[in-house]
Structure formats: C-alpha cells, structure tokens
Structure 1
Amino acid sequence: MTILAKKDPDETLLEHTENALKVFKSIKEAYPETPFICGVSDFWEHLFYSIFFHDFGKAASGFQRSIYGGEKWKYRHEVLSAGFVSGLEYENQSREAIALAIITHHKDISYLREKYRTDSNPLAKNRYIEKLQELTPNFEELREIQQKIPEISEKYLGFELNKFREIKSSEEMVDSYTNSIRPYKKKLDNEELTALHGKYGIFLKGFLTACDHLASGNKYNLLPGIEDMRAVYSFSELRKTQIKALETKGDAFLTAPTGTGKTEASLFWSDANQNQCKSKRVFYLLPYTASINAMYKRLQKDFKDPELVGIQHGKAMYYLYRSFEDEDYLIATKKAKKVKNLTDKIYRPYKIATPHQILKSMFGIRGFEQNLSEMSNALFIMDEIHAYDAHITALILETLKVLKSYRANFLIMSATLPSFLRELFKQELGITTEISFTQAELDEFTRHKVSVLKGGILDNLKLIQKEIDNNKKVLVVCNTVSQAQKIYRSFSQKVHNSALIHGRFILRDREEIESKLDNLNLLVGTQAIEVSLNIDYDVLFSEPAPLDALIQRFGRVNRKGWENKVIKPVYVFDQGSEKDKYVYKNQELVAKSLELLSKENILGESRIQTLVDEVYSNGYQGSDLASFEMVKKNFSTYHNTIVPFINEREKEDEFYKLYQSVEVVPIQFKLEYLEEIENKRYFEAMKYVASINFNQYKKLQHNNQIQIDSNMIFVSVEYSSKFGLLLDSDESIKGIFNNDS
C-alpha cells in the first residue's frame, strides 16, 4: 500500500514532500538573506530536513486507515515525524531545532505539553511507544524515501546532502518530545535563551508552515512583484515627489498634500527598493477598513492581475465574500476563504492591511512565526501615519524597530505629521531621507479659504441650508455620532440626495452609504470621513478639532482645486458639543488650533506644517504622553518574552483589547441574524453587525439593554438604516425612527 499524505485528491507522502520542497525552493530564492539575519549559516539545510520529514508520521497504519475511510486516528502524526531527526548527523542544537519545527508545525508546545508529554506522564509515554509501532508495516517505503535524500536535496536545495544516516526501524528513533521540547522549555524557564528562542526558530517554524500550507493549496511558487512600476503608472509627467521616490534607496519620509499622487510615489519607492528577482513583500498599511477596501480594489485594477494583491483587516473575509456574492452562498464562501487563505500565507507580493496586522506578530499570536518570516526584508508603506492615537503610534514605532532588525525598510507618509513625531521616528529608526515639496511648490496646491465662525453647528443651520440651496455639494463633520445624527435629522427631510456616515451602522447599511458618498448634495459624518475616503465636496462645515484632524477634513473639499486655481471655503465653528471632551481629551490643542486658524484667510499649503508644529510645540501632553511613554518603556521587555513554537493565548486577549470595540446586532435584526447562523450562512449574518466602543457596551449592560445568544451580543437600542444605532437619549431623534427603518 502506498503511503498517502492526504485524500481528495490522493497525494502520496513523497508527492506532498516534493510539493512542499518546490515551495521551499521558491522561498530560498526569495529570501536569500535569511541565514545572515538569523545567524545560522546552514539554515537552508535545516529547513530542508524539517520539510523532508515533517509528515513521515503519517505512515502510521492507524493514520493510513483513517485516510482510506477508517475511523479517526486519535494521535498527532508530527510527534512521530519528529523522531526521524535521530538519523541527522548534526550537533544537538540543530537536531533539536529541526525536531521542534516538525513537532510544532500544527500544534504549539503548550498544547503538546498538555496532551503528549512523554517525559513525566507514563500513560502518554506508553501511548507514544504504541503509536510508534504503527510505523512498522510501512517502514520499507519510508526507507526508500529516505534513500532519495541526496537526489531530492540536489534538486531543491542545489547540492547533495549527506548528513543523514538512514533510520531502518522505529527502534532507532528517539523520543522527540523528551529530546526537543523539554530542553527548549527548560532553557526558556531558566532564561538561558539560545538562537532557537529567537530569529532562527522563528524562520524555521515560519517557513516550514508556509511550505506545508502552500503545497496543500497547490501553490508551489511565491508570486513576484511588478516588474516595472513606472510602466504601470505611465504618466507623461511626474511630480517632484514621485521622481524623488523613484530614486530613493532605503527608509524615507514622504510629506505631501492629499490628492497629489502619494500612492503612486510610494509604489515607485517600493520599486526602487526591490531586489533583482522582485521577491520583497510590500505591505501598504492604512488606518481604516473603507480606505483599505478602496486601495485593494484600485491596485487590483492598476496591476491587472488580482492575484498580486491581498487584503488584511478584521472584516476582510466578509469583504471578499461580498465580491463573490452573485454566486451561490457556498461557492462564494469557498472562493472568499481561498483568496483569504492565500493572502495569509507568503504568497502575494502586495498586501493592503491595517497596522494591527503587523502588531499581531509582536504579541505572539498563532502564526506569528510565518508572519515575521514573511516580513523579513520587506517594504512597508505607512500611509496616514498621523491618524493614530499616542498608544497605537508608540506600538507602531516599537514594532518598526523590531522589523528593522529583520532588515525591513519603511516609507512613512502623511500630509499633516507634527515635526516632533517626525523627528522621533527619524531618530529611532535612523531615517535620513525626506521627500517633500518646496514651500513655493506646496503653495501651488493651495485650495482652501478658511473661516472660524462664532457659535456651534446647531446655531448655524441656516448658513448650511443656504449653501445647499446654491447647489453646492456640502460636507458637514461632527465630533460625535449623536451630534451628527441631530444635524442630519435637521436636513434629511429637506435634502433628498443626502446621507449620514459614522461607525454605528450595520455593515449592510454602511456599505450602501459608502457606495454613493461622492454623489451627494449633502454628507454629514464624523471622523469616519477624515482619512483616505476618495470624496470631493464644494464646502465644509466642521465642529472644532485639533488642527491635524481639521486639515484632513479640509482635504475632502476641492481635492483637485489647484488644477484650475480654484479656492473653496471651509468653515470651522468655535464651539462643539458637551461630549467633545471625551473625543479630544486635550481641549487646549483644539483651542490653540482655532486661535491660529482665525488669523488665516487663504490657507497656503506651505503654512500647514508651520501651524501644525505650533499647535504641537510641546509634543504629547497629559494622558497622551503617559500612554506613549508607557509603551516605550515596557515594549521591549514585553516583546522579549515572545518565543517561537509557543502561542501566547493570554497576550492574544491583550492584543484584541487594543481595538476597544464590541460587535453587536440591533435587537430588531435578531431573528434574521439567528436564522442565517442556523443555516450556516455566517457572512450573510455579518451584514447585521455594528460596532460600539467598550464604554458604550458597559453602559448598555448596566441598563439591561444587552442580550447574548449564539455568542452574539444583541442590543435593545433603536436602529435606522439612515441614522444608525441611537445610543443617546435624544427623544427628538427617536421620534422619527418610527417612520424610518
């Protein structure tokens, strides 16, 4: 009987091994610096042996019977596979490393210690010996495969390996748990860390997992990046920042106004920093889901090959499912999973993601070894870096410092980054290159006339109505959802081509609103419109906010005004609502911003950096400073506790607390949601999900407005497709919900 690695379709052990080694060959070509980064000169030999033996335990007769339709085999094939390192003629650490990579390629050390601990559990030891005997019926075939090592290593590694003595029977195999996991864990507990507890172990585990998973998905080569980015964006004339980006090697800052071709410049930079075989992975990081989805769609179109670009954020699976939604649910789900799974592997050369996707790896969450391996020598484009609070900014900075030790390069982009933060990033990351326009060049992009108006937004509704009556496309930005709902209520009956956008809509309605954002007479929103949404309005009315946030709001008006030298008005009210202090805790920044803007008229683009620096002349203050310094102080100690082969389940909880949001379903959709769940139509069920922050959740819980069913939180709160969740007790708004659902 031929040893099978898997069924449907049949794939023999030798076929799967060779398929995984095809991926290995592609990874070796794509990541030539790995031995130098991890400090192990014969790293590729060790990885070859890890892959070669990773599934040998599947030869056990019980496992083979289960593949051929028998009862489930209740053991781990990796525990047996790792025993074949007995034949390796290496020193102990190398054998231990290869065994560890094999034994943990599906389950981590914590899981194995709990269920397969042969060093102190007689029952587990006897079970291991019993399962080891199951290899005997198929050992002749295993010997034949072992004898192919010189030939196969020549084919995939590039030279013959001869550091292996053939294992002829299970009696010659050592207990891999006792000989690899126990010493590794003991050294960890005694703080006697070795290379195996660092990059060496990370790369070994990460690349083995990638080879196994990609081979199982019938993908045997990593896709290379774009051959010539200049051919993709064949503009007749390039902007100065784009020319400089094409010439810049290494890390850089790029500062440019919204709408001046930063995206193309960043991709030109990635081209300039590629290696000869175009194998460096490119991560384009953005703060918000809507902008990530838009960039994903755009690059798929620009690159003319959807396989090259992947998307990673918390709701990526849902977004991908929606792109296949015209098909049968099961087919659409299967396609979405396939696209997502390949994106999560080291396969696609370009990934559009949130910074949370790279922060994950710093918390030791399952799969972090593969993620970090992929990110070695990668190119990171950090867009809209100004959009994060002090806590996340510090986490990003510390994460980039770790990635620098993996020889990654960074392009950090913003239209409004305070100089104190730029200098901090430059100093900590050793960035010396700045790509920007001169003052005169910047002023060519001037497009706004700014006015600070007395009073609050509710006092000036007639002024807003006047602009609408003059056929202007009007944008109104509030600081809180409740205020935005009030303002929209004032206009929704009178202005038919209008919409409200904020973070408390269910996914179905949020998508519907986002699909028509640029075609409205009136859009009322919150900070949701500040970053990366490709919208263009004629006039802005905004509640007061810190200057960098206001500049982002201004950027949604008259985006291409410089082309025809058109100036359009942006208005900022000098009073906000009572709840603004919870959104912008440092109200001094807001006051200082208004004071400076009140002295401006035509807001020259070259003035913006000066004004932002004046607002932030003292850097972070108060709770922002405390939060930033806390991360800076504790990060390295914390990160140094993360070691390969062990998933940090407790730290996973800590990571997800960073999101500070809770997914809920409005009570009116409970039956629809539960019906979709019952029918296993999970992505259809997600359409009814909205997000609220943790404090709002606790308040609803306190008021007995929470129900939990089928692991979902249902909130007894009124909901409207036009207004979203109404969490605040404004009866004047609630009254219209009865006529609008």
Structure 2
Amino acid sequence: MKVCYAKFIPHDFLECHINDAINVLKSMKISFKWLEELFPRVWELSFYSVLLHDLGKCASGFQRDPRGWGYRHEVLSTPFTAFLELPEDERNLIALTILTHHRPLDELEEILPSGEHRGEFEEKVGELFQNRDYIEEIFFERVPYWELYFFGRRKDLFNPPADWVEQIEGYDFDPLLSWYERNAKKYWSELVFLRGILNASDHLASAGELGIRLLSDIRAAVESRIPLERWRLLQRQAGETEGNLILRAPTGYGKTEASLLWADRNAFRTKKGVASRIFYVLPYKASINAMHSRLLALFREPELVGVLHSSSAFYLYSSELEYKRLSSLYRKIYTPLKVTTPFQLMKPFFGVGFPEMGLTELTGSLLIFDEIHAYEPNVLGIILAMLELLMRKKAKALVMSATLPKFLEKLLREVLKPHLLSTPSEEADRFTRHRVNVIDGSMDEVGELVEEVNAHGPVLIACNTVSRAMEVYSRLCDRYNAMLLHSRFTYGDREEKEKKLLASLEDYDVVVATQVVEVSLDVSFSTIITEPAPLDALIQRFGRVNRQGFGNPRDVYILTTGGEGDKRIYPMEVVKESLRILEELNGKPLLESRVPELVSHAYEPIADKLTDEVLTYREQALELFDSLKPLKSNESERQFYEMFQGLEAVPGVYQDRVLELINRGRSIEIHRYLVPVPLWLFMSESDAFHRLSDRGPGKYVLVAELEYSPELGLLREPASGGEVL
C-alpha cells in the first residue's frame, strides 16, 4: 500500500498531520469557550473542516511532485463534505471553509470544475483513485477514533459510500457557489470563525505545535514585580473593575500593572491558565519593543508574550530570540499576550493576510490601549469603528492615558460605555516633576540659552522637525559634546546612538532630538529646552526630565517661537493655546492633577473639528468593513497598504552592502540600513530614489541617492559623486 504525505521536507504522513491539527483544535475548544456563545456548533463543524481539509493531497500527482503538480488540493478535498450527515447549510459552511483555506474564493472560481475545467478535475479524481487503498484503509478507518478523541464519543457523521470515487467525480461546485452568494452575509460570522480556526489549526500543526498557549497567573506576575502592600489605589481598583474602562493616571504611576490587573479580572480562565487573548496596543515601535522586553521579564517565556509591528522580526533577531519561529507564531492564534500597533489589529478588518484568523482571535479578546491620544484622526476613526464591532463580539477594552483630551474621551465613552477611574488630585500631585518656564525666543538663540539655564547635567534640546534639529546641532557641536537624534537615521545608527545615551548619558552636554525622544529613551536629562508644540506632546517631552524625581520639580523651558515646518506637523491653533496655558503657569510647577484639564483646554479651539473628522473616518471605516465578504480577497487590502505602509529607503552609500546581504541570503540584516522616509521628502526628491533589487511580487529595496552620514542622518542634498539616478 502506498502512503500519503501532507508535508514534504520534512515528510509528514497525512494522518499524522490531521492528528496534530486535531490536537491544536482540541486545545482551542477547551480554551475558547466564548466562541460557543456566538456560534454553538463551531467546534463540531471545525472538527470536520480540519478532518477533511487535506484529503485531496492523496492525489498521486501531488505525492510525486507537490510543487509542480499544477492543481489545487483543496478542490479535491471539498467534495468529501458530501458524505457528512449534516444539514445542507452546515455541509456548505464546511465545504467553503475547506475550499478556501489557502486561497480566497474569487481566485479559485476560475479553476473550479465546470465546462472546460471538468475534464481536468475528473483526471485529478483519477489520481485520488490510485491511492484508494490508503484513503479507505488508513484514513477512513481512523475517523471514528478521531471523533472519539475529540468529542468523547463516536459521532458517525462521516459515511463515504462504496462508490465514493464516482460521487467525488460527479460533485457539482455550482450549487455551492450559488449558496455562498445567497448566504454569505447571513453566515458572515460562521464563515469567519470556521476559516480562521482551520487556518490556525493547520498552520500551527505544520509548525510543529500541538496546541495554543495560555498565560500563567497574571496577578502573581504583577506581585512578583510590586508586592501587594505597595499597590496603588488605582491599581487595586482596576483589578476589581469588570467591563470596559478608561483610566487616567500620571506618567510613572504604574498604569501597565493596573492594565494587567484589569485583564486578570476580565479574563476567561481554564484550569491551566488565562485563555483570553490580550492585545497591548501602543503607537510607536520603540515603546512596543520596550514594553515587550518588560512583559517578557514578567512572564519569562517568549511563547507567552508576542510582539507585532512592521519590523518586529528584526527586533527579535537583534534580541537573539528565535526570530523566524516566533515571528511566524506571533501572527497566529498561539501567543496569549501580544504587544502591537493598531495597524496590526486593523489588517483583518481590511481583509489583509488571513483576515478570518485575525478576526477570530480578536473575538472575545481583551484590548489595552496606551497613549491613544497620539494617533491622527483617520487612525482614531478606524479604532473607534473596530471597537464598535468588537464590543458586539464579547471583546473588552481598557484605554489609559495621562493626557487624554475631553473630546476624545467623549468619543470613547459613546462606544465603550466604560467605567471611569482617575487618580485623586492629592495623589496625582505627588507625581509632579516639572516647573514651567516660558522663554520669549526661538532656537536661533539656543547657544546662549544653554548657558543661561546653567544645568547640572545633560540638556535635552527638542526640535519639531528634522531639518531644524540638524541646524541646531550644527550650531552646538563645536561648543559642546553633543549628539543628534531624529527619525532620519538608519535603524542601525539610531540603535547605536540610543545605546550610547543609555550607557553614558552624563558624557554629553546636550542632546538635540526631535519627537523620537518622547517615546524611545528611558533616560533622565537635567532639563529641556523645547520648541512650542501641543501640550500633550510637550508633557511627553518633559517626561525625559527628572524621570523619578516625584515631588521635587525641575525647571523645563519652552520657547515661544518654532520653525516654518511646524505647521506640517501640528495644528497651530493647539500650539498657540498650549503656549497661552503655559504662560499662565510660568514659574510654577505643572501639577499632575491639572494635566487632563489643561490638555483638554489646549484642544478646545479645534475639538469640534477633530470630533467631526474622527466620526467621518469612523463612518467610512464601518461602511468599508460592512462591504467585506468573508473568504474573498478585497480591494480594501490595497487601500490599507496605501494608507498606512510607510516608506523606507537605503541611503545610496550603503547600497553595495545591502546587495551583498541579499546575495548571501541575509536579508533580515537589511533593516539596519533602512531609513524611514516621509512622503513629502519622497515626492519632493523623487528623482533621487530608485529600486535596488526586486525580492518577489511587490517587494523591493528602495534606495535614496541623497547625502547620508551617521552623525547627521539623511539630508535632502543629492549624493556627491555623480548624477542623481
């Protein structure tokens, strides 16, 4: 008797792969009880989807040469669902799940057996017949035992007849497609769950995993960091709050621990641990990486704490973790706690990747949003739309911030109907760390200002634009031991700079930086001189000064005049109002209890306009999400990448090194040489950009033939030594 393999290199018998996938499915069934409340038949139908999804691989042509076979095994697997003694609708749900578990339905419709394709299909069924002995004596014979293992009893719902080959050959796909067109909206959730669960079971089994992971005791992890007797009031209250929550607390209060205690209170548990999928959402890669390291120190296993953003694979590689395995697992329903960006959560709503798997994982999840005020109106609108849909799917959310404007809080309250927790004024004021000093002037006088502040330690000079930061650094670098830090360095050079600052901050007199300093550095400067900006952004910058000096305010200095490019970045009405507020506080401590109120006042001039913008984007997102069809590819996938995919380029000086890495199969290291490029720079200097190497459909390395140095970063000037390509 011939054997049938499901996987090659290494070889894996079909029955072994199905056994592994059923093991994964059983672990999900035990853990994800909330799915039964939304779809009571989810596990029975998922079992038969997993059972039959790869049976078409028994075709002799696939067994001889799976890559060169030239047909889709799913098309041969699907007709076996005709032998399930289930209602027609349930059989069709399983059939569509199996048919689309690798490719969307619209990509398969052209090759499905009808008319001219019927002959090819019948030929491939003939290849199945060549392995009839294996299918009947090995696979069919095991079905009752798999049912017994999964359900605890035999179901006897799969009963292929003696002439099963002839019936497979005569299977008609047209009624299945017609049923889909009539019922896709009605059975939207069922199709999403079934395909998502099948994808997760199949992918994890193929990766050698036999189950999903559960999170160990959250409360115990928090207690290992902060003893119970030292828990602050809001931390205790968060741990006692059931349902959605908005939490306001000062920077340094311990909001992360509060959010974990909230998750612990709201999580679904099994005997083996916390089953709920928890997403900790942050706006910036640097803060995501730092939070991942922090949570990994709490829960200790990289399989328990995942990280997801556009360059997370390189972060894992740099952290000397199993980046290939972990990057793959973090994108599946496997890891219980993930630190990520909102853009990763948006992907399944836009139909990107395997959207059904992402939507299934988000169902019943716990979402923790930190620094939600940092997003543009379009992103906020999409977040609100996602939250609105997820609240109907048993998800819960915690939003926390030190600087949440009132208009945004109101929008969130309408969607979440949350509990509200705020630090009492007296307790909040214990976290006061800064005294406001408004200086009439601009960065043109920065040299004299550094002398005047008479700082006892390194001074942070915060500029609003990269060009301004370069200009200020050039003025200071001859007089002081200075460093320049902004977003237009290669990731490798920026990492080296940040490591130097962390290791030897006191060696520097001044550090000139842009907004990157608001999120990327856990260092404490003696003081700051900053250009004017919205109050919430300024408070983030102040947070780099006197980081642990609660109750002992240090002076911070805000200039009244910024640069010409500021209006590209910030709403100037908010900047103007922020300055007015700070001038009233000139010479006084910035009391933490007043921060939420002051930030709300700063946004009052444009609060109505921003609210309208956010709501417009929310409505557009809801319309788009409603138009998506499960199991099909969507135009919205292209829209997602057009809206959110950032540009990155290799400076021309490094292109030979990058080409060498590509040729040596070390593409992961290209990330060290990439520089984020704002769209305005790409458009204004478009002649300076070209493609170095195509790396597959839609994948290439972009080169910027502009001047670059590890000291200054990427400049706007064309690279010397020839014409711009």
Secondary structure in 2 matching 1:629: helix
Structure 1: which amino acid aligns with 2:656?
A: L
Q: Distance in 2 between matches of 1:319 and 1:495?
A: 33
Cα displacement (A) at 1:35: 2.8
Secondary structure in 2 matching 1:407: coil
Structure 2: which amino acid aligns with 1:544?
A: P
Q: Aligned pair in 2 of structure 1 residues 524, 232: CA closer, same or farther (>3 Å)?
A: same
- 2:696 equivalent in structure 1: none
- 1:328 equivalent in structure 2: none
Structure 2: which amino acid aligns with 1:104?
A: T
For 1:604, which of 591, 608, 625 is the aligned residue?
591
Structure 1: which amino acid aligns with 2:648?
A: E
1:647-684 per-position Cα deviation (integer Å, ceiling 9, x unaligned): 22x32221122226311111111211122222222122
Q: Distance in 2 between matches of 1:478 and 1:373?
A: 43
Return the TM-score normalized by structure 2. 0.93
Tell me if structure 1 keeps the 8 A contact 2:215–2:304.
yes
Structure 1: which amino acid aligns with 2:709?
A: S
Q: Distance in 1 between matches of 2:276 and 2:645?
A: 33
- 1:407 equivalent in structure 2: 394
Cα displacement (A) at 1:543: 0.5
Tell me if structure 2 keeps the 8 A contact 1:195–1:201.
no
Tell me if structure 2 keeps the 8 A contact 1:313–1:354.
yes
Q: Distance in 1 between matches of 2:531 and 2:465?
A: 10
Cα displacement (A) at 1:232: 3.3
For 2:690, which of 707, 710, 717 is the aligned residue?
707
Cα displacement (A) at 1:626: 5.3
Q: Distance in 1 between matches of 2:40 and 2:71?
A: 35
Cα displacement (A) at 1:75: 1.1
For 1:311, which of 302, 307, 312 is the aligned residue?
307
Cα displacement (A) at 1:137: 2.1
- 1:329 equivalent in structure 2: none
- 1:125 equivalent in structure 2: 118
Structure 1 residue 186 corresponds to structure 2 residue 181: yes
- 1:233 equivalent in structure 2: 225
For 1:109, which of 105, 120, 143 is the aligned residue?
105
- 1:589 equivalent in structure 2: 574
Residue correspondence of structure 1 range 132-171 to structure 2 within 5 A: 132-144=125-137, 145-168=139-162, 169-171=164-166
Q: Distance in 2 between matches of 1:679 and 1:66?
A: 28
- 1:25 equivalent in structure 2: 26
Compare 102-111 and 517-526 and name the one that shifted more: 517-526
- 2:71 equivalent in structure 1: 75
1:468-516 per-position Cα deviation (integer Å, ceiling 9, x unaligned): x6432211111111011111222223333x4222211111111112223
- 1:202 equivalent in structure 2: 192
- 1:321 equivalent in structure 2: 317
Cα displacement (A) at 1:687: 1.6
1:709-736 per-position Cα deviation (integer Å, ceiling 9, x unaligned): 313222221111121111279xxxx99x
- 1:327 equivalent in structure 2: none
Q: Distance in 2 between matches of 1:199 and 1:135?
A: 33
Structure 1 residue 259 corresponds to structure 2 residue 266: no
- 2:6 equivalent in structure 1: 5
Q: Aligned pair in 2 of structure 1 residues 345, 253: CA closer, same or farther (>3 Å)?
A: same
Secondary structure in 2 matching 1:393: helix
Q: Aligned pair in 2 of structure 1 residues 176, 420: CA closer, same or farther (>3 Å)?
A: farther
Residue correspondence of structure 1 range 35-114 to structure 2 within 5 A: 35-37=36-38, 40-66=39-65, 72-114=68-110
Structure 1 residue 471 corresponds to structure 2 residue 459: no
- 1:281 equivalent in structure 2: 277
- 2:545 equivalent in structure 1: 557
Return the TM-score normalized by structure 1. 0.91
Tell me if structure 2 keeps the 8 A contact 1:99–1:176.
no
Cα displacement (A) at 1:41: 2.5
Q: Distance in 1 between matches of 2:642 and 2:130?
A: 51
Structure 1 residue 271 corresponds to structure 2 residue 264: yes
Structure 1 residue 510 corresponds to structure 2 residue 494: yes
Compare 159-168 and 476-485 and name the one that shifted more: 159-168
Tell me if structure 1 keeps the 8 A contact 2:347–2:353.
no
Tell me if structure 1 keeps the 8 A contact 2:688–2:706.
yes
Structure 1 residue 221 corresponds to structure 2 residue 211: yes
Q: Aligned pair in 2 of structure 1 residues 728, 630: CA closer, same or farther (>3 Å)?
A: farther
Structure 1: which amino acid aligns with 2:60?
A: S
Tell me if structure 1 keeps the 8 A contact 2:688–2:704.
yes
Cα displacement (A) at 1:167: 4.0
Q: Distance in 2 between matches of 1:728 and 1:591?
A: 33
Structure 2: which amino acid aligns with 1:178?
A: F
Q: Distance in 2 between matches of 1:416 and 1:371?
A: 30
Q: Aligned pair in 2 of structure 1 residues 360, 499: CA closer, same or farther (>3 Å)?
A: same
Compare 518-527 and 246-255 and name the one that shifted more: 518-527
Tell me if structure 1 keeps the 8 A contact 2:185–2:629.
no
Structure 2: which amino acid aligns with 1:45?
A: E
Structure 2: which amino acid aligns with 1:158?
A: G
- 1:375 equivalent in structure 2: 362
- 1:439 equivalent in structure 2: 425
Q: Aligned pair in 2 of structure 1 residues 470, 536: CA closer, same or farther (>3 Å)?
A: closer
Tell me if structure 2 keeps the 8 A contact 1:209–1:370.
yes
1:16-40 per-position Cα deviation (integer Å, ceiling 9, x unaligned): 1111000000011111121322xx4
Q: Aligned pair in 2 of structure 1 residues 573, 181: CA closer, same or farther (>3 Å)?
A: farther
1:349-404 per-position Cα deviation (integer Å, ceiling 9, x unaligned): 11010110001111011211001111111111101111111111111111111111
Q: Distance in 2 between matches of 1:36 and 1:342?
A: 27
Q: Aligned pair in 2 of structure 1 residues 728, 545: CA closer, same or farther (>3 Å)?
A: farther
Tell me if structure 1 keeps the 8 A contact 2:125–2:169.
no
Q: Distance in 2 between matches of 1:9 and 1:664?
A: 37
Q: Distance in 2 between matches of 1:118 and 1:535?
A: 64
Q: Distance in 2 between matches of 1:317 and 1:180?
A: 44
- 1:662 equivalent in structure 2: 647
Cα displacement (A) at 1:250: 1.3
Compare 264-273 and 3-12 and name the one that shifted more: 3-12
Structure 1 residue 698 corresponds to structure 2 residue 675: no
Q: Distance in 1 between matches of 2:644 and 2:607?
A: 21
Compare 668-677 and 457-466 and name the one that shifted more: 457-466
Compare 279-288 and 299-308 and name the one that shifted more: 299-308
- 2:338 equivalent in structure 1: 351
Q: Distance in 1 between matches of 2:477 and 2:645?
A: 31
For 2:532, which of 539, 544, 549 is the aligned residue?
544
Structure 1 residue 637 corresponds to structure 2 residue 633: no
Q: Distance in 1 between matches of 2:446 and 2:317?
A: 43
Q: Distance in 2 between matches of 1:57 and 1:663?
A: 42
Tell me if structure 2 keeps the 8 A contact 1:258–1:559.
no
- 1:488 equivalent in structure 2: 473
Compare 605-614 and 345-354 and name the one that shifted more: 605-614
- 1:526 equivalent in structure 2: 514
Q: Aligned pair in 2 of structure 1 residues 502, 158: CA closer, same or farther (>3 Å)?
A: farther
Structure 2: which amino acid aligns with 1:146?
A: F
Tell me if structure 1 keeps the 8 A contact 2:60–2:130.
yes
Q: Distance in 2 between matches of 1:653 and 1:541?
A: 42
Q: Distance in 1 between matches of 2:691 and 2:573?
A: 41
Question: What is the RMSD of the two structures over their aligned residues, measured on CA atoms?
Answer: 2.1
